[in-house]
Structure 1
Amino acid sequence: RAQALLIPAVVELPGPDAVRLLEAADALARLGLEIEGFGGGALLVRSLPALLGNPEPQGLLADMAAELAEWGEETALGRRLDAAVARLACHGSVRAGRRLTLPEMDALLRAMEATPRAATCSHGRPTFLRLGQGDFAKMFGRG
């Protein structure tokens, strides 16, 4: 599903990246990412994938252009739509270094408790680590 933007976003990218994205516009639209050319390397973003929440369009399009450059032709994109959704989902995630409020921490932990396979992100990386008392002692020079 797509989440239409109330005010379309204009994103500036290097020319080859913009062309790459426009060539894959139909496949991206199936993910909920609706774009159109806006002159030069500019793209007009009309909607974003709803499953991502509220991603930042500039970073999202730059990442998608990099993915398309890696995959190559359109048929490769078709085979990798699931992988693309998994990568895009990370844009809505809590990033390293971001400070959370106590209510955000609580909500995140409650959501993780209710989520199957919450121990890994959508592409298999761990989402948390288990640290014992010895680990803390070593970190603080007490071991």
Structure 2
Amino acid sequence: MLMSVLFANSSGNVLLERFHSVPGEERLHWRSFLVKLGTDNLNGARDDELFVASHKSVYIVYTVIGDIWVFTVGKDEYDELTLVEVLHAITSSVKDICKKAPSERVFLDKYGKVCLGLDEIFSQGILEHTDKDRVRRLTRLRPLVE
């Protein structure tokens, strides 16, 4: 299961987060852990450079795109390889929505569209779509013509 997707800026402020099957009392722990992980490893990292970690029998794959840090957390069948695919789908869709690697301002300006894109990529912690073109068509809120 995909437990969490979290977007933060380089100052450690959480911009967007989605948790699935994570109790409310554990969410603060995960937020602070992921931000600390980003602070320790992502300063000076290149765009789309992937980082992998594990914590409490879960897998974490994270990267930086523009000014935004992106974290994916999964367990069981959502191991490092699957999380790389999820992260690639998320980052390519965010770049597509923002028209480039996003700054914090552009990301927040396109916040609603990014949320729609995330809803199309995964639902209730299950991966649904990884094709960026399909996600783009679905976020237009028009019926698919196939």
- TM interval, shorter chain, is 0.3 to 0.5
Q: Normalized against structure 1, the TM-score is what? A: 0.36
Bigger strand share: 2
Question: Whose Rg is larger?
Answer: 1
Bigger helix share: 1
